[in-house]
Amino acid sequence: MFERAPYEKCPSCGDPTLGILSAGGGSLRRRCTKCRCAISIPLPQLSKKVVYLDQFAISEIYKVKSGRRRQQSGAQVFWQEVTRQVDRSYLLQQVIFPGSNIHRDETIVSPWASELALAHEMLSGDVSFENYEDVERSQVIEYAEAYLDGRAAPFISFDVDQILEGDRNDWLPDIHITAGMDYGAFADGIRRQRDETDANCSELWRRWIAQKPTFDQVFAHEFNDFSNAKKGALRFAAERAQAALKVYDTSEFLNRIAHPVMAEFNQLKQLFRDRGIADADLTSSVYRFWDWPENRSMPIHRISAYLFAALSRRLVSGGQRKMPSKGMMNDIRAISTYGPYVDAMFIDNGCASLLSEEPLRSEVKLKARIFSPTTGADFLQYLRDLDLQTPPEVRARAEEIYGNSIR
């Protein structure tokens, strides 16, 4: 017997034995436990919000649900209420909280990797963000096409569905099937990569503190450094791949040739080849495109330049006494990549504060409403508003399908 309550009157035999068989996508399927009559009922159309929760928020929600969060921990009541409101608005089909490869990498090094991954998966609506590198590469390709056409910088559409894998507006399945995975094999590699990035960033933070550049100086450097950054990353990846090949380190070699800048370089070469550029001229043509001044306005690049400049100002002024954490680069990537597309982001206090300062507040155009622990009450109200705005027909079907899970 796969049917379950609530039961309704069967249109065939007339008995109150028509139970829910399954739900999800765009339909609710009911079947009679007595005569086996089956019907499919179309579900109301949806328009779900997309909210980016940073890894800290996902971890806190997981700890509340699993009981790992100590009752005496700070903000216990807040995170309990966030968890309740997140679950409620999610089951009412008003919002999804997709994961990204930024989350994945941070989850892999967690002591509760599998459980944490499942907790986030259960809030994603079977939807995930495209990898941040792929989102950046899609913007690069749009700019490259404009460059080849002799046009100015293109208008980038920030339609969130363009950066999602899966259907945002599918009804949640009433049964969730997942496959367990051992993340241990990846953890050491992720840690090495994170430590390498942190070492490079720490050197930059210390240089800022010592040299005390102005906001405008750092912004100008980052804003105008598009081409140098691309060429430098490509050269570094190629050199490391060659070094790995010489010592027969296959794993490191494959890792380096799969670097995002390598993928971008090869995709650009193919685009240029398709436009009739000879193979002998492909590399120099890609380099000339990277030199194109219009690239400075690319949304991901522009937003990250502002964030770096704001961070430098805070470090130089002494407004931030602690060095940025190892997660700072991931925070900048997440905001720069997903901020223009999603409806809201819950991020750490430091990054939220940077975005509230001028000129970022005026110049960084994010679609996302920004929340953080400091503005936690506003975030809870945002979630409650999603609940209150649920159309009556959607609420009725959600309560019918998910029942006591909506509490």
Least confident of 163-177, 192-206, 233-247, 375-389: 192-206
User: Is the distance from CB of 163 to CB of 98 less than 8 angstroms?
Assistant: no
The DSSP symbol for 323 reads P
Write out pLDDT tens, residues 17-72. Answer: 999 999 999 999 999 999 999 999 999 999 999 999 999 999 999 999 999 877 76
pLDDT of residue 316: 93
179 pLDDT exceeds 70? no
What is the rounded average pLDDT for all residues in the chain? 93
Q: How far apart are CA 245 and CA 240, in angstroms?
A: 9
Give me the amino acid identity at 173: P
Domain ranges within the chain, ordered by starting residue: 4-43, 46-407
pTM as predicted: 0.93
259 pLDDT exceeds 90? no
The DSSP symbol for 280 reads G
Write out pLDDT tens, residues 230-247. Answer: 999 999 889 988 888 888
User: Is the distance from CB of 23 to CB of 174 less than 8 angstroms?
Assistant: yes
Strand order in 4-8's β-sheet?
Answer: 4-8, 18-24, 27-32, 38-42
